[in-house]
Amino acid sequence: MFTGIISDIGTIAEVEHRGDLRARITCSYDMDGVDLGASIACDGVCLTVVCKGDDWFDVDISAETLSKTNIGWPGGNGRGGWQAGRRINLERALRLGDELGGHIVSGHVDGLAHVTAIREEGDSTRVTLEAPRDLAGFIAPKGSVALNGTSLTVNEVDGALFGINFIPHTKAVTTWGDVATGDAINLEVDTLARYVARLSAYQP
C-alpha cells in the first residue's frame, strides 16, 4: 500500500524487452535499505525490485501492466511510453508508523486519463483531464484520486472531465511540472468510492 505522497523522482535509464519488459530506474534512494522483492510505486504502478545497484533498481513489467498503464502507451504527441530519460514519480511502500499524508493508494492502475487542457492560475496550474467513461462515476468534487502516483484532490467534475489544481510545491517535487496537453496519465480511483458504489448497487 502507498499514500500518494511522492518521495523521489526517478529517471528511466534503459528499457529492454526480454519476454516481459525490464526497466532500469535511477533514483536517490539509499538502495542499501531497499530489499530485493520490495514494492515501489513507479508513476503509480506498484512494481517489484528484481535487481539493484547503488543508485538504481530494475523492475519487470508484464504485458497486462503494459496494457493498463501509460508505460506502454504509444502516445500521439511524441511523449508516449517509458523511454530512456523519462522522469517518473516514485514512492516506497507504506510502513507501519508512517504518516498517512495523502490517501490509501494500492498501486493498481484502473485506467488512463488524458490531459485535455492546462492553464496557469497565479502561481498554480489548473489541469483538466478526461477519465474513461467507466471510471468517471468514481470521481467526485473534493474527492481523492491518484494520478501518476500522486494523491490529489479533485476540484470540479463535468461528466468525464475533472480538474486538478497544482501548487508550486507539488510541481517542484513531482513530475507534474512537465505535464503537457495530450499526456496519458495513470489513474487510480479512491478505494472508498469503489465501496460506496458497490454498496449502492448491491441488491441482496
Count of Cβ atoms closer than 10 Å to residue 178 Cβ? 12
CB atoms within 10 A of CB 16: 10
Contact 4, 103 (CB under 8 A): yes
What is the C-alpha to C-alpha distance for residues 71 and 202, in angstroms, rounded to an integer? 34
What is the pTM for the complete model shown? 0.91
The grid coordinates of residue 76 equal 500521439
- Report how far apart, in Å, the C-alpha atoms of 31 and of each of 27, 58, 78, 122 are: 9, 12, 32, 39
pLDDT tens-digit map of 113-148? 999 999 999 999 999 999 999 999 999 999 999 999
CA 50 – CA 33 distance, rounded (Å):
14
Find the Cα–Cα–Cα–Cα dihedral 152, 157, 160, 162, rounded to 10°: -40
Model confidence pLDDT, tens digit, residues 70-108: 998 876 555 778 999 999 999 999 876 666 667 889 999
Query: Is CATH 3.60.150.10 the right assignment for the domain spanning 111-201?
Result: no
Domains 8-92 and 111-201 equal at CATH topology level: yes
**CATH hierarchy code of domain 8-92:** 2.40.30.20
The domain segmentation of the chain, as residue ranges, is 8-92, 111-201
pLDDT at 81: 87
String of DSSP letters for 159-190: TTEEEEEE-HHHHHHSGGGG--TT-EEEEEE-
